[in-house]
């Protein structure tokens, strides 16, 4: 199953609603801008795995980082933990900004 989606596909899923958006970047990265409605869980934080384990496995998640590496790793972890609907944005937040999508500050 391919769990990578384009910026445009992510934006469409977000507009449709019923998705949770996870920002797995550092606090410093998030301070420069983020996707509206996203929840921040620092990939490099000490409680990252336990924070992921607390999430509702029945929901759909769109995960992003700066470039797609950490979010891809997060999606793999989520799948191992029993999440069935989770996606990593190809190119991450950098691609989101490049495509001139809405950014919150």
Closest by CA position to 89, among listed 69, 104, 59 = 69
CATH number, domain containing residue 93: 3.40.250.10
| Predicted confidence (pLDDT) per residue in 54-93, tens digit | 999 999 999 999 999 999 999 999 999 999 999 999 999 9
CB 73 within 8 Å of CB 105: no
Residue 91 lies in a domain: yes
Beta bridge partners of 51: none
pTM above 0.75, yes or no: yes
Residue found under tokens 């495509």? 99
Distance CA 45, CA 34 (A): 18
The number of folded domains in the chain is 1
Structural domain includes residue 35: yes
């Amino acid at each position: 199953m391919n769990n990578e989606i384009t910026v445009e596909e992510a934006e469409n899923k977000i507009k449709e609603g019923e998705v949770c958006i996870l920002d797995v970047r550092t606090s410093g990265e998030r301070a420069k801008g983020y996707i509206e409605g996203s929840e921040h869980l620092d990939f490099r934080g000490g409680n990252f795995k336990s924070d992921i384990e607390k999430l509702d496995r029945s929901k759909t998640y769109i995960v992003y980082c700066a470039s797609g590496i950490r979010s891809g790793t997060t999606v793999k972890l989520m799948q191992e933990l029993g999440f069935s609907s989770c996606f990593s944005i190809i190119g991450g937040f950098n691609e989101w900004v490049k495509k001139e999508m809405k950014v919150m500050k």
